[in-house]
Amino acid sequence: MKQDTLDTILVIFCMLTPVSPGIFAKKLVIISTALLVLRILGSRNIFYVFKKKLLIILLFIPGVILAIFNSPDNLIRFVPILLMILGFPFYDFKVRARPIKILSFYIIIYFIVTQVLLALGNSSLLNFREVWYPAEYGYVWNYGFVDSIVSSLGQFRAGGLYYNPNVLASVIVLYYFIFSASSQYAEQSNINFSKKKINTRKIINIFMLALVSFSLFFTGSRTAMMALIAYIAVQNFDAALFKKARIKKNTLWASLFVLIFLFLTFDRMLEGVSTGSANAKFEILMRHLSESNFLELLFGGTYNVHFDNEYGNWIGACGFLGLLAWFITLRMVYRIIPLTKPLIVAILLTAIGNTLLYGLLTGSIIVVVVLISSSYWWQTQEEEKNKKPL
């Protein structure tokens, strides 16, 4: 079997395991992670920018040691980011774009359709969720049901299979990033497609963006909305063309999308910053900073504070050394794989009000997003190199 087939199957498995039914998702994620570790160990990726990776790991070590003694259960939270560090830049992974794009499309459709039906109180889906996606923390996210989707938009938060609308929004937006990156790479690699096929692809991409936007608005997750807006804006902005007073058609459409989405969500986002959850999370972080001693702030070791955002969780678990390691990791990814720029910007914004790499579910998906984006980047470089005349 060819290497690209094996890598694509492995990535498909890694995409499916985090979002599989909750009753056995954790066990499947352990298996997929183990397989990914074996694949990484069989490559030379570990030694790529080795000094920088060593620095990052050294910065994380105090937090890991404190977790071993203070909260062993939280050690698992270091797995996604350490896996991403060791496997980066995934330069010998050959992932096919088409099956990844198709799978991410169906995963997104799956979560949005179930989100809508559960919000409407569909009994079959409610029983399905009760059996296969049991609530881990009781029913604190039980928002009830609605009679109409249209009239309830902006008034009701639909959490779908995960109960928690913020978790659902994070999952959907991450799989949209996979879908978007796969679409972009497929278009760049297949320039000989007919005009009809290109137009069909564009329609599918616009449909998917509209569907994801609707779903995020239905969840009421401000951070996910902000992440999507940032991703679309950065992905379609070309600074070189802007300096020449030239704007691509894609940039115009993206600008229109960003303006409309901001218009629809601006009041909600402003409320979150001023009096809502973002403000409350900021106060929790400030209280922790004022009440902690120097060693706690430097090395971390705090796991009993509900920060509910990336910055707070890394400061609490690993101190400012761990937060610095997290920043260096993201910078390393962007500097080596420029294709990830929209993703990195989205992560930095999402981190204000939610967790991604620190979260067990989203952390495992982020690793896959980075792996796929990196694989596409290296394959693009190789294709361009082969096109050059000898």
The pLDDT, as a whole number, for residue 248 is: 59
The pLDDT, as a whole number, for residue 132 is: 93
- Please check the confidence at residue 347 and state whether its pLDDT lies above 70: yes
**Rounded mean pLDDT of 47-54?**
94
The pLDDT, as a whole number, for residue 256 is: 65
Q: How far apart are CA 56 and CA 50, in angstroms?
A: 10
Point out the least confidently predicted range of 36-50, 237-251, 259-273, 313-327.
237-251
Q: Which residues contact 142 (CB under 8 A, 6 or more apart)?
A: 163
Specify the DSSP element, H or E, that contains 42.
none
Q: How far apart are CA 95 and CA 117, in angstroms?
A: 34
- Please check the confidence at residue 228 and state whether its pLDDT lies above 70: yes
- Please check the confidence at residue 40 and state whether its pLDDT lies above 50: yes
Q: Average pLDDT of the chain? A: 86
The pLDDT, as a whole number, for residue 184 is: 86
Predicted confidence band at 326 (pLDDT cuts at 50, 70, 90)? very high
Residue 325's Cβ-side half-sphere holds a number of Cα atoms within 13 Å equal to: 30
CA-based Rg of the chain, rounded to a whole angstrom? 21
- Please check the confidence at residue 244 and state whether its pLDDT lies above 50: no
- Please check the confidence at residue 222 and state whether its pLDDT lies above 90: no
The pLDDT, as a whole number, for residue 343 is: 94
Q: How far apart are CA 133 and CA 353, in angstroms?
A: 24
Q: What is the pLDDT of residues 256-313, one digit of tens each?
A: 666 665 656 656 656 655 555 677 787 888 899 999 999 999 999 898 888 888 999 9
Q: What is the pLDDT of residues 178-199, one digit of tens each?
A: 999 999 887 776 655 556 666 7
- Domain chopping of the chain, boundaries: 3-383
The pLDDT, as a whole number, for residue 27 is: 92
The pLDDT, as a whole number, for residue 250 is: 61
The pLDDT, as a whole number, for residue 23 is: 83
The pLDDT, as a whole number, for residue 258 is: 65
Burial annotation 295-314 (CB, 10 A radius, 16+ → b, else e): ebbebbbbeebebbbbbbbb
Q: What is the pLDDT of residues 84-116, one digit of tens each?
A: 999 999 999 999 999 999 999 999 999 999 999
Tokens of 16: 């499916």
Which own/partner contact pairs does 142-149 have at CB distance under 8 Å and 24+ positions apart? 145/119, 145/120, 145/121, 146/119, 146/120, 146/121, 147/120, 149/116, 149/119, 149/120, 149/218
